[in-house]
């Protein structure tokens, strides 16, 4: 019994709830019959639509108030406008700006259907563009050098978002080509000069790019200024050069092309020699070409010569010549010759040779005195010295002893007056070349030693007189 009462109480509460909620939702009032097993609805009051498509025959087994509550709970929420686009970026060009952005973080419950772009120069609205769902657009016909501010808004079925954070840019152009490019070659280097182009509106020139091409190989040298000296090149190799100016928008067009060939001065002439020709009273100077020409052929040779007699002059020879002759040289004069090679790369250092012209009656000479001349000079000096020495010795010994008649006619006697006598004395040694004094025959002195067996009287210089 208690259980049945509880079920009836619950049913009454449900019935009361339906009676209260039904009018609020615009649903018809439903009658109910009670039975021991269940409750069934009576005939509906008013017209209802049903899920089966009938507007006058609702499903008698479904409470129409509860059906309306289910429909109200399952309907979708109302859409709102999207949030503002993000990451607005501007790319300026010549009289145009490319505008890009990112989609909004929230689409407001409805897909974005397009975007609206506005721009304002110096605070005045001047343009509006409506674009589709793409994330960029070009804005053309702008004034170069004029600052423009852009904003973007997103649209969906619920409306238009707020505008994005503004971004500004100035349309402009890259610089025009520099003019007057000149290249001058040096020793493994080249120097480039040019004239700057005018600054484009709003974007001044920031620097230059030098482009150098050698055959099929090209090299760019960024951020250079005029004049620009470039090293590390190869002498004798031709390079083709152009230059471009750049600003914040990029590099402009290239200048006209110029060609340059680095060159250097040649090496000095080699194997330089000189020889005197006595038959023609001339000096022949000969040389060989330089071992290095500096990247261009030798064009000529220059000969400077100086004489010890004060004469000097300069002469020239062609590139095909390998010798040069100085005529009318003076005897006994030394000539210094300096030979220089020249090319388009400059002048070489000098090669030097000296030629000594012998005096009158001499033989031909060259850059150094012959050894036999020096030997002859030494021989003459030594000979004079020996003659003087012998002459002096002869004078010291001349007349010191001279053969003269004596009583026995076989003895040596000094010339009177030449060797004065101061009394008895022992005669000194005979001078060199004089015969020794003759020892007279007679008895040997007592107590004396016998003369040496090797002592012999000198031969008679003349036969004895016979009476």
- Strand ranges, E, within 196-333: 207-214, 217-224, 228-231, 239-247, 250-254, 258-260, 270-277, 282-288, 298-307, 312-318, 323-327
Confidence at 32, pLDDT banded by 50, 70, 90: very low
Mean model confidence pLDDT for the chain? 78
Q: Which residue has the higher pLDDT, 12 or 112?
A: 112
Task: Note the pLDDT tens digit of each residue in 314-361.
Answer: 999 999 999 999 999 999 999 999 999 999 888 999 999 999 999 865
Confidence at 433, pLDDT banded by 50, 70, 90: low
Q: Which of 304, 307, 320 is nearest to 357 (CA)?
A: 307
Average pLDDT over residues 148-176: 94
Work out the angle at residue 213's Cα, subtended by the Cα atoms of residues 212 and 219, and round it to the nearest 5 degrees. Answer: 55
Architecture of the structural domain at 179-260 = Sandwich (2.60)
**265-395 in CATH: which number?**
2.60.40.10
Could you give the percent of the chain with pLDDT greater than 70? 67
Give start and end residues of each alpha helix (H) in 166-227: none
Average pLDDT over residues 433-461: 49
Q: Which of 288, 307, 287, 312 is nearest to 355 (CA)?
A: 307
Whether the per-residue pLDDT at 253 is higher than 70: the answer is yes
Burial 105-119 (b: 16+ CB within 10 A, else e): eebbebebeebbbbb
Class of domain 86-169: mainly beta
Q: Which residue has the higher pLDDT, 234 or 454?
A: 234
Q: What are phi and psi of 375, to 5 degrees?
A: -65, -40
Q: Which residues contact 111 (CB under 8 A, 6 or more apart)?
A: 156, 157
pTM of the model: 0.51
Q: Which residues contact 95 (CB under 8 A, 6 or more apart)?
A: 140, 141, 142, 143, 144, 171
C-alpha radius of gyration, the chain, whole number = 67
d(CA 241, CA 463): 118
Q: Which residue has the higher pLDDT, 373 or 57?
A: 373
Would you list the domain boundaries of the chain? 2-74, 86-169, 179-260, 265-395
Q: Which residue has the higher pLDDT, 269 or 437?
A: 269
Whether the per-residue pLDDT at 449 is higher than 70: the answer is no
Task: Note the pLDDT tens digit of each residue in 171-191.
Answer: 999 999 999 999 998 889 999
Whether the per-residue pLDDT at 269 is higher than 90: the answer is yes
Cβ 108 vs Cβ 82: under 8 Å: yes
Q: Which two tokens stand for residue 94?
A: 């010549």
Confidence at 39, pLDDT banded by 50, 70, 90: very low
Task: Note the pLDDT tens digit of each residue in 292-311.
Answer: 888 889 999 999 999 999 99
Cβ 176 vs Cβ 250: under 8 Å: no
Residue 335: what pLDDT? 95
Residue 282: what pLDDT? 94
Residue 285: what pLDDT? 96
DSSP helix/strand/coil, 169 = strand
Task: Note the pLDDT tens digit of each residue in 42-71.
Answer: 444 443 444 444 444 555 555 555 455 455
Residue 216 per-residue DSSP state: T
Q: Which residue has the higher pLDDT, 207 or 364?
A: 207
Residue 53: what pLDDT? 42
Q: Which residue has the higher pLDDT, 433 or 54?
A: 433
Whether the per-residue pLDDT at 465 is higher than 80: the answer is no
Confidence at 30, pLDDT banded by 50, 70, 90: very low
Confidence at 385, pLDDT banded by 50, 70, 90: confident
How many C-beta atoms surround the C-beta of residue 352 within 10 A?
A: 14
Whole-number Cα distances in Å, 66 to 30, 42, 349, 350, 372: 12, 16, 117, 121, 147
Residue 393: what pLDDT? 78
Work out the angle at residue 53's Cα, subtended by the Cα atoms of residues 70 and 47, and round it to the nearest 5 degrees. Answer: 75
- DSSP class per residue in 81-135: PPPPPEEEEEEEETTEEEEEEE--S--TTS---EEEEEEEETT---EEEEE-S-S
- Classify the C-alpha dihedral 387-390-393-398 as positive or negative: negative
Residue 177: what pLDDT? 95
């Amino acid at each position: 019994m208690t259980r049945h009462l509880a079920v009836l109480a619950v049913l009454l509460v449900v019935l009361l709830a339906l009676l209260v909620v039904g009018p609020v939702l615009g649903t018809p009032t439903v009658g109910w019959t009670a039975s021991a097993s269940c409750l069934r609805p009576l005939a509906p009051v008013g017209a209802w639509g049903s899920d089966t498509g009938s507007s006058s025959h609702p499903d008698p087994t479904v409470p129409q108030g509860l059906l309306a509550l289910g429909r109200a709970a399952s309907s979708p929420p109302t859409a709102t406008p999207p949030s503002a686009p993000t990451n607005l970026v501007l790319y300026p060009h010549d009289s145009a700006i490319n505008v890009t952005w990112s989609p909004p973080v929230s689409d407001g419950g409805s897909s974005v259907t397009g975007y609206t772009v506005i721009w304002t120069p110096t605070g005045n609205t001047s343009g509006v563009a409506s674009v589709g769902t793409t994330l960029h657009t070009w804005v053309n016909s702008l004034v170069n050098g004029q600052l423009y501010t852009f904003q973007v808004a997103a649209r969906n079925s619920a409306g238009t978002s707020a505008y994005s954070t503004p971004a500004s840019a100035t349309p402009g152009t890259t610089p025009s080509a520099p003019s007057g490019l000149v290249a001058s070659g040096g020793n493994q280097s080249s120097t480039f000069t040019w004239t700057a182009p005018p600054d484009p509106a709003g974007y001044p020139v920031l620097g230059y790019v030098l482009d150098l091409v050698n055959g099929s190989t090209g090299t760019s040298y960024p951020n250079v200024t005029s004049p620009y000296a470039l090293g590390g090149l190869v002498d004798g190799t031709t390079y083709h050069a152009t230059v471009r100016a750049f600003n914040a928008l990029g590099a402009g067009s290239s200048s006209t092309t110029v060609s340059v060939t680095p060159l250097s001065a040649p090496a000095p002439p080699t194997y330089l020699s000189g020889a005197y020709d006595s038959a023609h009273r001339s000096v022949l100077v000969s040389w060989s070409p330089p071992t290095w020409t500096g990247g261009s052929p030798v064009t000529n040779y220059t000969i400077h010569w100086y004489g010890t007699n004060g004469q000097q002059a300069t002469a020239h020879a062609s590139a095909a010549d390998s010798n040069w002759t100085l005529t009318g040289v003076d005897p006994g004069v030394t000539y210094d010759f300096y030979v220089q090679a020249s090319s388009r790369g400059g002048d070489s250092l000098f090669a030097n040779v000296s030629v000594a012209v012998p005096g009158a009656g001499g033989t031909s000479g060259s850059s150094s005195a012959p050894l036999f001349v020096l030997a002859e000079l030494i021989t003459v000096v030594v000979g004079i010295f020996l003659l003087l020495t012998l002459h002096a010795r002869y004078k010291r010994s001349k007349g010191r002893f001279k053969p003269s008649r004596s009583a026995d006619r076989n003895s040596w006697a000094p010339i009177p007056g030449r060797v004065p006598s101061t009394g008895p004395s022992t005669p000194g040694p005979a001078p060199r070349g004089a015969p020794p004094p003759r020892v007279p025959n007679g008895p040997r002195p007592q107590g004396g030693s016998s003369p040496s067996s090797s002592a012999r009287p000198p031969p008679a210089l003349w036969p004895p007189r016979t009476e």
